[in-house]
């Protein structure tokens, strides 16, 4: 399987949130997902994510509830590990920030 095919296959959302540094652990990511407040937009359809095994792929949009307000991001890459902050920030693009 080529690297491009692997990228298109997707990765579990709990793993992606951990790699992108939106959660300190996969367990914390799973708790946030279980709350049902994370939204996944794919091909124009927006759905709440409730299971950590939900896959995400480049081109998907996520709306994440943060203390400062909702954050909408586009997934640009899946990553292969939880690296330094600069590496994590390359996995997504901020689309919209809703502040107080």
Task: Report the CATH number that the domain containing residue 76 is assigned in CATH.
Answer: 3.10.290.10
Taking the C-alpha atoms of residue 62 and residue 47, their distance in angstroms, rounded to an integer, is 10
Taking the C-alpha atoms of residue 42 and residue 57, their distance in angstroms, rounded to an integer, is 9
Taking the C-alpha atoms of residue 64 and residue 57, their distance in angstroms, rounded to an integer, is 16
When divided into structural domains, the chain yields a total of 1
Report residue 26 as tokens: 């996969």
CA angle (53 as vertex; 69, 67 as ends), nearest 5: 15
Domain that holds residue 85: 3-97
Residue 27: per-residue pLDDT: 96
Taking the C-alpha atoms of residue 28 and residue 64, their distance in angstroms, rounded to an integer, is 14
How does pLDDT run along the chain (100 residues), one tens digit per residue? 444 445 457 999 999 999 999 999 999 999 999 999 999 999 999 999 999 999 999 999 999 998 888 999 999 999 999 999 999 999 999 998 765 4
Residue 2: per-residue pLDDT: 45
Residue 97: per-residue pLDDT: 74
């Amino acid at each position: 399987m080529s690297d491009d095919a692997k990228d298109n296959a997707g990765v579990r959302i709990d793993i992606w949130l951990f790699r992108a540094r939106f959660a300190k652990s996969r367990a914390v990511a799973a708790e946030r997902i279980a709350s049902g407040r994370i939204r996944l937009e794919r091909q124009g359809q927006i759905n709440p994510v409730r299971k950590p095994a939900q896959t995400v792929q480049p081109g998907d949009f996520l709306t994440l509830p943060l203390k400062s307000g909702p954050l909408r991001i586009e997934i640009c890459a899946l990553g292969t590990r939880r690296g330094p902050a600069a590496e994590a920030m390359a996995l997504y693009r901020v689309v919209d920030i809703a502040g107080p």
